[in-house]
């Protein structure tokens, strides 16, 4: 089945618009939902190329940015929300996103800086050398301009309903990939807008992210555990088609969820064997698993390892020890 080209709707009135990004993930999928209110799901990154592309795609459907009546964000990542400020200003559209994301978006620059500071602390605690840490901090700060601030006028909670493009969708909070992930479900059509919650061609990563409420005391976030819970909930939904944030739509999400969960178990076993050999920091585990990539993609690989270590800690097969502000993990 061929789905999601500019000319061929994914479902009646649902058009995929693939917008280029400067990131390794490649294009991001936005969705134009014709009907009342005229709705755009996700915006693409804040770049001239992204805006150009979006405007041309809208024009192919006989629309302009100014016509948009509702912009819905699936989550907080800049490839999905970066053009929000511009679209909001030009269209006056309502903006819907998870309610807890509203303050984060309202002061985007400060939020992005605080997220970076949080990531730096996570990297230090988990054994990433300071020179790499500093470099990654500089690189990350250089990317902030691909995101943007915005004003959420339709704050969404889990269980809410929202009308997009003439049809009603239920809203479900699905934290894991980010704390603010939502999916939007049209049960009659079995159509789910999934953002990056579930992707077909790559497994979505559960990044270690600063909690949205900014609270830093209390237990640390366990994104992969949250993500597993979210995936199991999605598998129960009887969705027949998932419109994803990257790549092609998914036609059998329940089977894909099974595959993803099995892959997690396999990876957790591999990590358990590495910390059985000797206690290791999460970064050392990442280097054992991925070599050079653990340096180039230090935060991503660190998040992967920490997520799976959380599974082992929860299962009681791993423990952690702390010395000089650095955490090491060991088999118990």
Taking CB under 5 A as the binding criterion, the range among 76-84, 106-114, 166-174, 266-274 that sits at the site for Zn ion is: 76-84
Q: How far is the CB of 325 from Zn ion (least distance, A)?
A: 30
Q: Smaller CB distance to Zn ion: residue 116 or 196?
A: 196
Query: In the chain, where do the E strands start and end?
Result: 14-19, 28-33, 39-41, 70-72, 94-98, 154-156, 161-164, 167-173, 182-186, 191-195, 241-244, 318-323, 326-331
Q: How far is the CB of 195 from Zn ion (least distance, A)?
A: 7
CB of 316 to Zn ion, least distance (A): 31
Question: Per-residue contact track with Zn ion, 177 to 196, x per CB under 5 A?
Answer: -------------------x
Strand-pair partners of 330: 319
CA dist 332 and 99 (Å) reads 40
Binding mask 195-214 for Zn ion (x = CB under 5 A): -x------------------
Number of residues assigned to the chain: 332
Told to check if 15 binds Zn ion by CB under 5 A, we report no
**Segment lying near Zn ion (by CB under 5 A), choices 54-62, 77-85, 206-214, 253-261:** 77-85
Q: Which two tokens stand for residue 222?
A: 């366990």
State which residue, 4 or 45, has the beta carbon closest to Zn ion: 45
Q: How many binding residues for Zn ion (CB under 5 A)?
A: 2
Side by side, the strands of the sheet bearing 28-33 are 14-19, 28-33, 39-41, 70-72, 94-98, 154-156
Give the shortest CB-77-to-Zn ion separation in angstroms: 4
Q: Which residues pair with 156 in a beta bridge?
A: 98
Pick the binder of Zn ion from 53, 77, 173, 174 (CB under 5 A). 77
Sign of CA dihedral 187, 191, 197, 202: positive
Q: Which is nearer to Zn ion, 77 or 280 (CB)?
A: 77
Q: Phi then psi for 262, rounded to 5 degrees?
A: -65, -40
State the DSSP code for 159: T
Nearer to Zn ion by Cβ, of 77 and 267: the residue is 77
Chain contacts with Zn ion (rule: CB under 5 A): 77, 196
């Amino acid at each position: 089945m061929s789905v999601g080209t500019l000319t061929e709707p994914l479902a009646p009135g649902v058009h995929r618009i693939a917008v280029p990004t400067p990131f390794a993930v490649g294009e991001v999928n936005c969705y134009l939902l014709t009907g009342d209110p005229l709705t755009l799901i996700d915006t693409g990154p804040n770049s001239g190329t992204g805006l150009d592309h979006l405007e041309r795609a809208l024009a192919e459907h006989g629309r302009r940015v100014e016509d948009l009546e509702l912009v819905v964000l699936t989550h907080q990542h800049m490839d999905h929300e970066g053009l929000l400020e511009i679209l909001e200003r030009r269209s006056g559209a309502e903006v819907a996103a998870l309610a807890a994301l509203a303050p984060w978006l309202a002061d985007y620059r400060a939020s992005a800086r605080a997220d970076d500071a949080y990531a730096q602390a996570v990297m230090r605690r988990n054994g990433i050398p300071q020179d790499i840490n500093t470099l990654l901090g500089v690189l990350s700060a250089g990317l902030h301009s691909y995101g943007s601030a915005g004003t959420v006028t339709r704050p969404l909670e889990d269980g809410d309903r929202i009308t997009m493009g003439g049809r009603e969708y239920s809203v479900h909070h699905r934290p894991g990939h980010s704390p603010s992930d939502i999916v939007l479900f049209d049960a009659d059509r079995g159509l789910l807008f999934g953002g990056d919650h579930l992707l077909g061609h790559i497994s979505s990563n559960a990044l270690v992210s600063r909690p949205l409420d900014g609270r830093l005391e209390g237990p640390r976030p366990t994104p992969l555990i949250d993500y597993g819970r979210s995936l199991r909930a999605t598998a129960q939904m009887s969705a027949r088609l998932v419109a994803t944030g990257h790549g092609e739509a998914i036609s059998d999400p329940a089977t894909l969820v099974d595959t993803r969960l099995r892959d997690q178990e396999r990876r957790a076993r591999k990590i358990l064997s590495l910390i059985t050999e000797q206690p290791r920091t999460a970064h050392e585990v990442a280097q054992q698993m991925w070599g050079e990539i653990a340096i180039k993609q230090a935060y991503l690989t660190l998040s992967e390892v920490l997520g799976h270590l959380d599974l082992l800690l929860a299962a009681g097969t791993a423990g952690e020890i702390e010395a000089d502000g650095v955490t090491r993990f060991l088999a118990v």
